[in-house]
Chain A
Amino acid sequence: MPQSLRYVLFAAWVLALASTPLWAENYVVRLAIVIAMYTALTLSWNFIGGFAGYPSFSTAAFFGLGCYAGALPQNAGVPMVLAWALATLFVGMFAALLGIIILRLRGHYFAIASFALVEVVRLVISSWGNLTGGGDGLNVPLVSGGPSVVAQTFLGVMIAIMLIVFAVTILVDRSRLGFGLSCIQQNEDAADMVGVDTTRYKVYAYTLSAMFCGTVGAAYASWTGYIDPSDSFSIIMTVKVPVMCLLGGAGTVLGPVVGAAAFLLLEEFFWANFLEYNRAILGAIIVVLIFFLPGGLLRISYSDLLSRTVRRSTQPGATP
């Protein structure tokens, strides 16, 4: 599929999400918000997990920190959008400082460290009761308006964040940084030998992967109006996001978009139709998809597939 056609399809998809309030009930609008939110998180993960090839499991840590870093200033009187910007900066700086330490680890060791981060941050937030409300959670100032107005507002916000991360992804993909990250992903020692400052580039990728998770977390806190540690730092989220990216195609520009959409629509379908076993069925399908399509849905040559199907249907009886 030509690159331009892919972008046209992406634009159509964004329009479809953005127009849900016009043609669908609130339940579908809510699904569209969740899709935009997870697409932004998956695009973020793609910087470190896809471009640099470092399997990070710290999405929930950055998302959760973003929830609190957005909520606390608002409770102190900072306007909502400014609080979101503060959360973005805070989480970005946190990831940069942390990255300098844990990006010295490679492969499984990095994955374990990034995973542990979620638990460590969650424990700190839930123990620091007098600041964060601990296990009782924290109320966040509500956006005024009825449920459908709030839904429309946050649909716009999440789509805007998603588009910003998407634009940054395109910039990185075409820049020196993206080239260097893909060198690191393919052969880190060789990248070092041709003059890539590997530590610095990995820190950039990790910071990019974190800061927009912070924005999404802060916006999510304002949307729901209430946050607590177990909701903000969920292990399910930290695993779901890499799975979405792998499903679509890690290291590509549109893979995360396709992956997040496919995952959430499948999840929704199985949840609605198989109330008891939906997770088991979804899990099995994802294992099968990733097993047979290790490059993700985007790496399939669809024109090849189409011509093969056409050939088979026009020549019945002929063995392929």
Chain B
Amino acid sequence: MSASILELENVSKHFGGIRAVSSVSVDLREGEIVVITGVHPASAGRIRFLGADVTRQRPFQAARRGLARTFQIVQPFPRMSVLENVAAGALFGGAHASVSDAMEAAREQLDFTGLTAFADRAASALTLAGRKRVELAKSLAMKPKILMLDEVNAGLNSSEIDGALTLIRRVSERGVTILIIEHLMKVVLSLAQRVLVLHHGELIAEGKPSDIVDDPRVIEAYLGEKFARRFKETASHG
């Protein structure tokens, strides 16, 4: 098993009176794809990245250290082209020295994510699936060690989701550790090497996707009897 890249120790987060995450401890190992399902996690407590305490870092410092994230609600630079959006990631997060270097690096990412044809369009003119892809390309341009994807598939149709999943697998093949926040079971089960299930802010299960669907607490909290049975049937048949 490879070394820990991100360690969370007793992390909690409150939004007003709502306890979103309480005292969760998780280790993330290099190169794996982990899906957190249940609730939206956020930071507080103690978080270590490659051994260094990064609990109190500001977002731009995280970006420069190699922790990139995408948002559930896309955050483009609306009046910039797709290329410039991705170049922003390369220039500031990927530490390219000049604007023209960053543009070059951005073109590579557009190629990788299949956005080359849209390079000169305004980011705001793309479909939702396209804008989510721009977010992903922007994060990849930051040369992340860990890529955190927050509901990248929310609002997409079935074939768009398949496209996104293929892309995420190819990113993983490049050796990037991937942490995904997701509710869609299709994504959770087909992509994850390890799944963490949170319920009312507490970690109730952790393990391989096939073990998770057997866990009675997970079935009770999320899946329902019917889904778990159907999943096991399809797994045994195919």
Contact = CB atoms under 8 A, between A and B. Distances in A.
A180 interface: yes
Interface stretch (A67-75, A188-196, A281-289): A188-196
Contact of B64 (A182, A189, A195): A195
Q: Is the interface of B mostly helix, strand, loop or mixed?
A: helix
Most chain B C-beta atoms within 10 Å of own C-beta, residue among A183, A191, A193: A193
B79 interface: yes
Contact of B92 (A175, A187, A189, A195): A195
A114 interface: no
Contacts, number: 66
Given A196-B60, A197-B60, A176 B78 contact: no
Contacts of A196: 60, 88, 92
A175 B63 CA distance: 20
Interface string B135-166: 00010001000000000000000000000000
Contacts of B168: none
- The size bracket of the interface on B is 20 to 34
Contacts of A186: 77-80
Contacts of A191: 77, 88, 92
B63 A194 contact: yes
Interface of A: 174-176, 179-180, 182-183, 186-187, 189-198
30 contacts: A175-B99, A176-B91, A176-B98, A176-B99, A179-B84, A179-B91, A179-B99, A183-B80, A183-B88, A183-B92, A186-B77, A186-B80, A190-B75, A190-B76, A191-B92, A192-B59, A192-B60, A193-B59, A193-B71, A194-B60, A194-B88, A194-B92, A194-B138, A194-B142, A195-B60, A195-B64, A195-B92, A195-B93, A196-B60, A196-B88
Given A179-B91, A189-B59, 20 more contacts: A175-B99, A176-B98, A180-B91, A180-B92, A182-B77, A186-B79, A187-B75, A187-B78, A189-B75, A191-B88, A192-B58, A192-B59, A192-B60, A193-B69, A193-B75, A194-B63, A194-B93, A195-B89, A195-B93, A195-B142
